[in-house]
Amino acid sequence: MIESSARRVEADAFGKVETHGIDAISAAERHGRPRELGFLWAGAFTNYASLFTASLLTTYFGLGVWDGLAATVLGTVAAAVILGLLSNTGPRSGLPQIVFTRGIFGRRGSYLGAALTLFLAVGWFAVDCVIAAQAGAQLFGGGNRLITFGLVILIAAISVAVAVYGHGTIKVLETYGAVIFAALAAILFILLAPEFRWGHGPSVSGADYPGAFVLGFMTCFALVASWYPFASDYSRYLPASSPTRSVTIWPIAGVAVPMVLLGLFGLLLPTIDAKLAADQGVLAVISAHAPAWVAVPFCGILGTALAAYAVLVTDLHVAYEDFLILTYLWAPAWAAVVLLSFFVFEGKARPRLAIIAWLTGTAVSLLFVNYTNLFSNLGASTPSHYFNDGLVGGLHGADASGLISIAVAAAVYWGGRRLRAAS
């Protein structure tokens, strides 16, 4: 029996093909400690996306370095708390996040969340493959379309292969990738530190300032929220006896530490050359001001994919914001219902009410979306007007839709459950 259990656990190791899909991980195959989640999530956020997200706050939103860092920390931690809480569904059930929600939204009700998650996963997969391929084509073939197509196929094949090998292999590769990126980022930070304007203040003031701060907060929140539908996909390998506090805290720490450190770097980079950062992005600042021996590996291998996307496809910062906003239009309300069901009303499923609460929270949040910001990359010659221009204008451009969706969904679900219990 012990030998059989050892073989099952060994199957979830580097280089071993993942044997599980959406089925539950059995008790015999559970292994590891909650602290492993900290390193896994740190690896997921030790990348260019974390740096780039924070750079938006000083490049485009008008915040300064230190208030931008405050918005980054608050938005990241707020979203990471929800991610950490969602992670507890893994050890308890052994199921992937979306499959677990069948017990909350019902089998048919969970299909909507599955479809949206599929869109999210396929979208990130496609974007990552295409921009990486375009970067390679720029580096090795001057943007040749045939080379780009070949690289898309190659990168997609490698990505699928890693996914087939699964959890154990992903943990190892993610760790090494994060270490390499962190080392290059640290070297760049030290080399560029003398050029940073550490005291750079906000360029917005008065009533517009809170709107800019909220926009920065929600942008960082949205980056973390894009991971909500996958929260338990790796925590489900932990033993069912894993402490709730540890399963919650370690993902928070794993997300927050790299986001804060890389976020500070991203906030400072535009202070070197604000015009270059606004026109071509922070990677252009690195390329122009850092020594070639470290700028080439960082930009060419780890980051130029996003730079190539910005140059060849569209305005990167706008496209990136759009993707994050589309993600967090539905995920926060969904997460609010899942958490209340799991921690407060466990074992008493109300699928219809859960769906109503989720959709109501999402629908109400649409009133608070800054559509001008969301659709500003469509290239219209004249400014577009939207039904909520007055409301968003009164908020000075702040997009609080994510927080609104959480509050409304939680209120509807909680209120509906309490009314039912009282009747």
Q: Is the pLDDT of residue 13 over 80?
A: no
Residues 6+ apart with CB under 8 A from 403: 218, 221, 332
Contact present, 104 and 354 (Cβ < 8 Å): yes
Q: Would the pLDDT of 365 be above 60?
A: yes
Are the CB atoms for 192 and 265 separated by under 8 Å? no
Q: For 224-256, how does the pLDDT look when each residue is reduced to its tens digit (9 = 90+)?
A: 998 999 899 889 989 999 999 999 999 999 999
Alpha-carbon dihedral sign for residues 172, 174, 179, 183: positive
Of residues 15 and 3, which shows the higher confidence score? 15
**pLDDT on residue 289:** 84
Separation CA 423–CA 413 (nearest Å): 16
Nearest to 270 by CA among 373, 204, 320, 200: 200
Mean pLDDT of 281-292: 77
- What lies within 8 Å, CB to CB, of 321 at 6+ separation is 56, 219, 373, 374
Statement: residue 341 has pLDDT above 80 = yes
Q: Are 87 and 247 in contact (CB under 8 A)?
A: yes
How large is the average pLDDT for residues 209-235?
91
Domain ranges for the chain, please list them.
31-314
> In this structure, are residues 264 and 70 in contact, taking their beta carbons and an 8 Å threshold?
no
**H/E segment holding residue 4:** helix 2-10
Q: Among 31-45, 163-177, 396-410, where is mean pLDDT lowest?
A: 163-177
Model confidence at 285, pLDDT cuts 50, 70, 90, reads: confident
**In which residue are the tokens 């390329």 written?**
287
C-alpha span between 15 and 71 (Å, rounded): 40
Total residues belonging to the chain = 423
Q: What is the pLDDT of residue 123?
A: 62
Cα separation, 264 vs 53, whole angstroms: 11
In sequence order, what are the residues at sequence separation of 6 or more whose Cβ sits closer than 8 angstroms to the Cβ of residue 202?
A: 62, 63, 64, 67, 209, 212
Q: Does the pLDDT value for residue 300 go beyond 80?
A: no
> In the prediction, which pLDDT does 6 show?
46
Give the pLDDT of residue 258: 94
Q: What percent of the chain has pLDDT over 90?
A: 40
- Compute how many other C-beta atoms are within 10 angstroms of the C-beta atom of residue 62: 20
What was the pLDDT predicted at 166? 53
Q: What CATH number belongs to 31-314?
A: 1.10.4160.10
User: What pTM did the predictor assign?
Assistant: 0.82
Residue 264 pLDDT > 50, yes or no? yes
Q: Which of 418, 49, 91 is nearest to 240 (CA)?
A: 91
Decide if pLDDT at 405 tops 70: yes
Closest C-alpha among 402, 399, 391 to residue 374:
399
User: Do 318 and 376 meet the contact criterion of CB atoms below 8 Å apart?
Assistant: yes
Q: How far apart are the C-alpha atoms of 414 and 337, rounded to whole Å?
A: 9
Query: What number is the average pLDDT over the span 307-335?
Result: 62
Asked which of 39-53, 137-151, 259-273, 317-331 is least confident by mean pLDDT, the reply is 137-151
Residue type, 332: P
User: What is the number of other CB atoms lying within 10 angstroms of the CB of residue 39?
Assistant: 16
b/e for 349-371, b at 16 or more Cβ within 10 A? ebbebbbbbbbbbbebbeebbbb
- pLDDT over threshold 70, residue 204: yes
- Alpha-carbon distance of 373 to 114, in angstroms, equals 27
Reported as a pLDDT band with limits 50, 70 and 90, residue 183 is confident
pLDDT tens digits, residue range 56-112?
999 989 999 999 999 999 999 999 999 999 999 999 999 999 999 999 999 888 889
CA-CA distance, 237 to 142, in Å (whole number)?
A: 44
Could you tell me the pLDDT band of residue 376, with boundaries at 50, 70 and 90?
low
DSSP character for 386?
A: -
The sign of the dihedral angle between the CA atoms of 20, 21, 25, 31 is positive
